[in-house]
Chain A
Amino acid sequence: MTPSKLVFKSLTRRKGRFVFTLLGIMVGMASFVTFMALGGSLKSQIERESAALGANLVVTPKGSCAYEQVSILTGEQLPTNITKDEVAAIRSIEGMQAIPYLAERSAIDNRPVSVMGILPEETKTFKSWTLAQGDYFLEEYSDGAVVGSVLAEQFGLTPGSDVRIRGTEIKVLGVLQETGGKDDLTVFLSLPVAQQLYDQKDLVSYVAVRVDRLDEVELYANKIKDKVALGVVSDKQMRSSVLSIVGTVNMTLQMIAAVAILAAAFGIVNTMMTATYERKREIGILQAMGATRNGVFRLFLFESGIYGLFGGLGGAVLGGLAAVFATPLISQNAATSFVKGSQNSLDPVMFVGAILFSTLVAMIAGLYPAIKASKLSPVEAISYE
């Protein structure tokens, strides 16, 4: 016999209670791990999209807030009020490359998709795109569409097939190679075609700017501001403001998970308190056989810890599975652009951390019952009926 065997025998004596208490902490930890994974996924996706934008500066309509900055990264619809003249003024600045975008939304088979109006050749170079199938736009005014790889797969689009945007059938010219970002879920049209389709003559949503010298980003931001009365945000600023929004979302999700864990912790307190009362006599027997108060304390604390360890392990596995299978579905509904990249946020450190955290929470929850058990006098315990 060893203390750990003794603990396992005690725990498994009442299998139903053991399983249900364990389920409590498993559910709590599973939600915690899922939310952490989802949060991590959003964060890493934001960073990837920011990198995929390939810009050091983004020119947005005056007074754009963080929400619009999120939209640039996610491909949501944006207010479109940057004029042709403003774009020309920005593009006239030397030492940088400026690419205008018209960001719009449409629906294919009742599912929302991003539609982007682009300058075909410049954007292709800017983003280093390559084609997986078909052809690219032949000229700046080409009528067709080029679609992202995931979108093509989802809607069965191939070169030659038609895609319906705002009631107009548009021929798919080609499919891009997978980029791992929101471009995979976007329909690209040439800028004039998109402007006509969305009734935004000579207007764009934002301009992505890449400066030749990274140490002069600030300088070029000021140059743009001198030329046009628009908002200019650096990719770093944009990323940090978007990440702070994501951080708040994550924090909220984790608070919800924390409540679930807290409820599970009280479940452990309840189970262990019941065990203390039910096993008063057993505690007395152990004391009569020579168990010290400290020994009884450790046995009870160990039992609580086991709930945390197994609950944490089960919860981490369940949460991990939920993150792998459910997160992409959640993302798909909330923002299609986050479909990709949601599956690689299962961090082993987080997995182990969740198990350790769960064990710690369970042991803290077991502290009071363990103290109560250890403070029983042997005579009181042995005389308990």
Chain B
Amino acid sequence: MNNPVITARKLIKEYGKGAALVRALRGVDLDIQRGSFTCIVGPSGHGKSTLMHLLGGLDHPTSGTVTIDGQEISRLDNKKLADLRARKIGFVFQFFNLLQSLTARENIETALMLAGVSEKDQKKRSQELLDIVGLGDKADAKPCQLSGGQQQRVAIARALANGPLVLLMDEPTGNLDSEAEADVMKVLMDLNRQGKTIIFVTHSNEIASKADNILYVRDGYIQLPPELRKAS
């Protein structure tokens, strides 16, 4: 299998200057294969989220390149990056991050609106997506009326709205109980089986064990996981 949807080369991200300089990523190379389920693991504060932000075009690297579906994105301007996020990337975050003033359906419709989908098509597509995540009957519920697991499934439906090439998920089950986590993981594994590329930042070994590929991020580098390092 050598069909990467995302590649990163010599990816460096630094914040601040002088004594306050933080090297979040110190030279990352990776390939994310199309249709794969990749987990990014590692201790907190070692660059996992920064890596996800760069892979998803939420931020510019200090140096190095990120290529998505053959398009080098690290030097794209903000407008083109926004367009890329609207059409090719679906983000899901730990704290659900639904717009609280909107219903489940409206949250999904907003993502569709940003990609230029007509109002009529928004309605149809949002219902389909809610059905996919098993919340077809919760379309008109506000986030505060939904459980954590349900909110995260709405977030997944919203991330899927514009048929992204890849789902980028930053600890999406980190705030859920076991039952809700199982529900969310079932949805995600189904999507992955249907060919959706998923990059999943997690601290959970159980989730990582389901991945095709594990990237262990430590001190701003991708390293071998500790258990493999001990063995070698």
Q: Which residues of A approach B to under 8 Å, CB–CB?
A: 1-3, 5-6, 9-10, 12-13, 281-282, 284-295, 377-379, 382-383
Which of A3, A9, A281, A289 meets B106, CB within 8 Å? Answer: A9
B99, A290: Cβ atoms closer than 8 Å: no
Secondary structure class of chain B's binding surface, majority of residues: helix
- Chain A residues near B82: list those with CB within 8 A: 287, 290-293, 295
- Chain B residues near A282: list those with CB within 8 A: 99-100
B78, A1: Cβ atoms closer than 8 Å: no
A13 to B99, CA, bound (A): 11
Given A10-B101, A281-B97, A294-B79, verify A289-B59 contact (CB < 8 Å). Answer: no
Given A13-B100, A379-B59, verify A288-B106 contact (CB < 8 Å). Answer: no
- Chain A residues near B87: list those with CB within 8 A: 290
A20 to B56, CA, bound (A): 40
A2 to B123, CA, bound (A): 12
- Chain A residues near B79: list those with CB within 8 A: 292-294
B112 at the interface (CB under 8 A from A): yes
A292, B78: Cβ atoms closer than 8 Å: yes
| Count class of interface residues, chain B | 20 to 34
B119, A2: Cβ atoms closer than 8 Å: yes
Secondary structure class of chain A's binding surface, majority of residues: helix
B122, A1: Cβ atoms closer than 8 Å: yes
B91, A288: Cβ atoms closer than 8 Å: yes
Residues facing A in B79-115 (CB within 8 A) are: 79, 82-87, 91, 93, 97-102, 106, 109-115
A290, B114: Cβ atoms closer than 8 Å: yes
Q: Which residues of B approach A to under 8 Å, CB–CB?
A: 49, 53, 56, 58-59, 78-79, 82-87, 91, 93, 97-102, 106, 109-115, 119, 122, 158, 162
B109, A378: Cβ atoms closer than 8 Å: no
Which of A1, A285, A292 meets B112, CB within 8 Å? Answer: A1
B102, A9: Cβ atoms closer than 8 Å: yes
- Chain B residues near A294: list those with CB within 8 A: 79
Closest beta carbon of chain B to A83's beta carbon, Å: 80
